[in-house]
Amino acid sequence: MLQWPPKGVEVLAANKLPLLNTLILLCSGTTVTWAHHCLINGDRDGLKKGLWLTIILGVLFSTLQAVEYLEAPFAFKNLNYGTTFFMATGFHGFHVLVGTIFLAVCLFRTYKGHFTPQQHFGFEAAAWYWHFVDVVWLFLFVVIYVWGGWGAPVH
């Protein structure tokens, strides 16, 4: 019978850094939505603030993910668990990085006056992408950290 995580693997506690990162991404979903509402209502200052906050939260998420990697009690080469963990969260982390860059480009374009309440497809695409990254993280949090660590010794 297969066991997951494999016997002897110490996992990361879901209620510590992973939970904090989850809250950070949920907050970032709120700030990008706020920025969108500001854009639609012609509030350029609110749009800028919302984008800045979302970008800062994206950078914070990525930084804490790197800290988590450094503190992980297992390595990429640790059989299937380490490989699965680092590939899944790393692939997601890459998408967070891409989304953060995408939002930074939107912020730059905002300062240049490129978005109006009527024309802002680039921002819409970035916001939808960011929400997608949020939803994927919720799935990963449940599958990798909560369900994937169920019954295993915790670091």
Is 152 inside any structural domain?
A: no
Q: What pTM was computed for the model?
A: 0.93
Is 3 inside any structural domain?
A: no
CATH number for the domain that contains residue 80: 1.20.120.80
Is 9 inside any structural domain?
A: no
Predicted confidence (pLDDT) at residue 120 exceeds the cutoff of 90: yes
Query: Which residues have CB under 8 Å from 105's CB, separation 6+?
Result: 122, 126
pLDDT in the model for residue 89: 97
pLDDT in the model for residue 78: 65
**Number of domains making up the chain:** 1
pLDDT in the model for residue 154: 78
Domain, as residue range, for 103:
17-147
Summarize pLDDT for 63-113 with one digit per residue, the tens: 999 999 999 988 887 678 889 999 999 999 999 999 999 999 999 999 999
Distance of CA 74 to the CA centre of its chain: 22
Is 133 inside any structural domain?
A: yes
Burial class (CB in 10 A: 0-12, 13-18, 19+), 121: exposed
pLDDT in the model for residue 64: 98
Summarize pLDDT for 26-43 with one digit per residue, the tens: 999 999 999 999 999 999
Helix (H, G, I), strand (E, B) or coil at 117: coil
Q: Confidence band (pLDDT; 50, 70, 90) for 5?
A: confident
Instruction: Please count the helices (runs of H) and the strands (runs of E) in the chain.
Output: 4, 0
Q: Between these two residues, 151 and 95, which has the higher pLDDT value?
A: 95
Predicted confidence (pLDDT) at residue 119 exceeds the cutoff of 70: yes
pLDDT in the model for residue 77: 78
Is 7 inside any structural domain?
A: no
Is 10 inside any structural domain?
A: no
Is 50 inside any structural domain?
A: yes
Q: Confidence band (pLDDT; 50, 70, 90) for 1?
A: low
CB contact at 8 A, 15 and 117:
no
